[in-house]
Structure 1
Amino acid sequence: MNTLRENVADYLVMRRAMGFKAEGLAKLLMSFVGFCEARGVNHVTNDVALEWATAQIKVPVHDALFARRMDAVRLFARHQQALDPATQVPPETMCNRRYRAREPHIYSDTEVHALLAATDTLSPQFKAVTWRTLIGLLAATGMRPGEACRVSVDDVDLDNGVIQVLDTKFGKSRLVFLHPTTVTHVRRYLRVRHDQLPAATRACPMLFVNGRHTALDPDKLGITFRQLLAAAGIPTIAGRRPPRLHDLRHTFAVTTMLAWYDDGHDVQARLPLLSTWLGHVDPASTYWYLHAVPELLDQAVRRLETRDSVTVAGAQS
């Protein structure tokens, strides 16, 4: 009989063969395997799944982590139960602390400019230029930070104002079009990159490089970004999670939809366009913003009330 570790490894191979990205799932499941092995457990059971999902392993357990852990075990258990009847599939009712996405931090124009100015506090100078360009690109395009870190120099076509984003979070690729001012800043960064870095470093294919002359690590961006938040004087609002670099993406989506409302456009009809731009799997992922951000929900309610009042007035005339 295969061990639980072998079964999980086979499951991950199958997932990848089907075209799914499994990095995050693999980390969670291998953590679960280690937890089970330490207790002599070789099958998924509801009790051990719950014990692992609520255990503090390296980091404190919050609602989002609890939900991700339970979802990971449940995915594997559903597959494994067909092969091993002793496997238990944790029921949905076990997630009584089910994660609900918190309201993102929507940066004001003043805060974005403050972040850009705060990059001057970084050293060496090339790091400051790199972060200024990265923040500006994320704010102007709504790209994911991880996507920006994986953009290569060859993916950037400044003559046509386009960045090619390949093999994204859901295995999709897309084109992101740049405003002329963004093109100017990216072109300036490439010039500085060429002038300040040694020839061996310039050979790195990635657009953004760190102090070790290798590609920026998406998992380590938060360290520097927290320094910039402090330098920019952007506080954490009570009851909310701290502002994140990823929130620049949320800001782009929200400000785009607010602008559409202000211009009188049919936002519902335009959501698929924004969804495609952001690289979402479907418009439902983009529609989440209407519920997560009070300003958008308020605009949607106002639009609905206006439409209803016009309908009533027409019926009465």
Structure 2
Amino acid sequence: MTSLREHAEDYLAMRRNLGFTLEGHGRMLMNFISYLEEVGATTVTTDLAVAWATRAAPGANPASWNKRLTVARIFARHLHALEPATEIPPPDLMPLRYRRITPHLFALDEIVALMAAAAALGQPLRALNYSTLIGLLAVTGMRIGEACGLDRADVDWDTGVLTVRAGKLGKAREVPVHPSTNEALHRYDQQRDELQPVARSPAFFINSRGNRLDAHHVPETFARLRDAAGIRPAAGGRKPRIHDLRHTFCLATMLDWYRTGTDVQAQLPLLSTYLGHVDPVSTYWYLQAAPELLALAAGRLDAFLGDLP
């Protein structure tokens, strides 16, 4: 008889073979399996799934219960085909969901201040890394992990195209950059070799030990640079994060389209591809992420309705 743990491992292996990374999802699922083993369960039931989902740390956002229960539900749905005794928790059992918080939109002078704060870091290579990285994220909207995942071979100086191989769900894509960005990256490449001539990694961004710049450490350094640059959250908002540079790029692009009369709906799929969004819905979310963007969209709608007979 196949154990729940074996079923879970087979399930995760199958989905990963389809291209899903499932890092957080996988950890939660195996935690659920450990809980089932702890209580001596041999099958998944709704009561057990709920008990595990609500077992989160005290003070946790109730919306996290829904996230945990969703992990159990998806696995139970898969398992039910193999073990008919499996109960699948109803989808409306915990309707609470996370609400996406409005991102901080960096003004141009804030981005300049961030890059200046980065350039003032004490260690020369560290200063070069962060000033270049922040600029790259601001003008391409790349994810931090994608930028840190770039290898030298992924930067084509002749065409000005970056090849992102470590995109979401393992999807690769090409990111064309402006000639000024290409030039800035070329300068970084040359200065990097002067500051760290010995590289132990094929990475484009390397640290003082010659290894790849760790994306997991970037947000912490960015927070210090944000504070040094004097950037504060908007009233009622959260502290700006480095991922908000991605939001800023996306919104700035759409604002420019609206102001120049571009057909935004026709261009959104192109933007979605450029950003590496798995689903265009992720790009459409930006349409309601900034009041200024909503105002421009509403103005265009009013003009369209005014032309109707």
The TM-score normalised by the length of structure 1 is: 0.90
Shift of 1:167: 4.5
Which of 224, 234, 238 is 1:237 aligned to?
Answer: 234
Secondary structure of 1:93's aligned partner: coil
CA contact 1:149–1:208 (8 Å) conserved in 2: yes
User: Which residue in the other structure is 1:68 paired with?
Assistant: 67
1:297 is displaced (CA, Å) by 1.8
Q: Which amino acid aligns with 1:187?
A: H
Aligned equivalents of 1:264 and 1:129: distance in 2?
38
1:285 Cα offset (Å): 2.0
Shift of 1:241: 3.2
Structure-to-structure mapping, 1:112-151, within 5 angstroms: 112-151=111-150
Structure 1 segment 282-297 matched on structure 2, within 5 A: 282-297=279-294
Structure 2 CA distance for partners of 1:66 and 1:147, relative to 1, 3 Å: farther
Cα separation, 1, equivalents of 2:120 and 2:63: 33
Q: Percent identity?
A: 48
CA distance, structure 2, for counterparts of residue 210 and residue 3 of structure 1: 44
Partners of 2:231 and 2:307 in 1: how far apart?
42
Deviates more, 1:110-119 or 1:86-95: 86-95
Which residue is 2:95 aligned to?
A: 96
8 Å Cα contact 1:121-1:231 kept in structure 2? no
1:217 to 214, 218, 224: 214
Coordinate RMSD, CA, aligned: 2.0
Structure 1: give runs of 5+ residues left out of the alignment: none
Secondary structure of 1:261's match? helix
Report the Cα offset of residue 82 of structure 1: 1.3
Q: Which residue of 1 aligns with 2:76?
A: 77
Q: Which residue of 1 aligns with 2:107?
A: 108
- What TM-score, normalized by structure 2, do the two folds share? 0.92
- Distance in 1, matches of 2:212 and 2:35, equals 33
Instruction: Say yes or no: does 1:309 pair with 2:300.
Output: no
Structure 2 CA distance for aligned equivalents of residues 141 and 71 of structure 1: 33
Q: How many residues align?
A: 309
Q: Which amino acid in structure 1 is aligned with residue 92 of structure 2?
A: T
Aligned to 1:50: 50
Sort the Cα spacing of 1:96 and 1:106 in 2 relative to 1 into closer, same or farther, 3 A: same
CA 55–212 in structure 1, closer or farther in 2 if over 3 Å, else same: farther
Q: Is the 1:138–1:249 Cα contact (8 Å) retained in structure 2?
A: yes
Tell me, yes or no, if structure 1 residue 267 matches structure 2 residue 264. Answer: yes
Query: What's the secondary structure of 1:94's corresponding residue?
Result: coil
How far apart are 1:63 and its partner, in Å? Answer: 5.6
Superposition map of 1:10-49 within 5 A: 10-49=10-49
Cα deviation for residue 113 of structure 1 reads 1.1
1:298 aligned onto 2:278 = no
**Contact in 2 for aligned 1:272/1:282 (Cα 8 Å):** no
Task: Give the SS at the match of 1:119.
Answer: helix
Shift of 1:15: 1.0
Change in Cα spacing, 1:179 to 1:71, as seen in structure 2 (3 Å) is same
Structure 2 unaligned segments of length 5 or more: list them: none
> 1:287/1:170 Cα in 2 relative to 1: closer, same or farther (>3 Å)?
same
Match of 1:7 in 2: 7
1:63 touches 1:99 (CA, 8 Å); kept in 2?
no
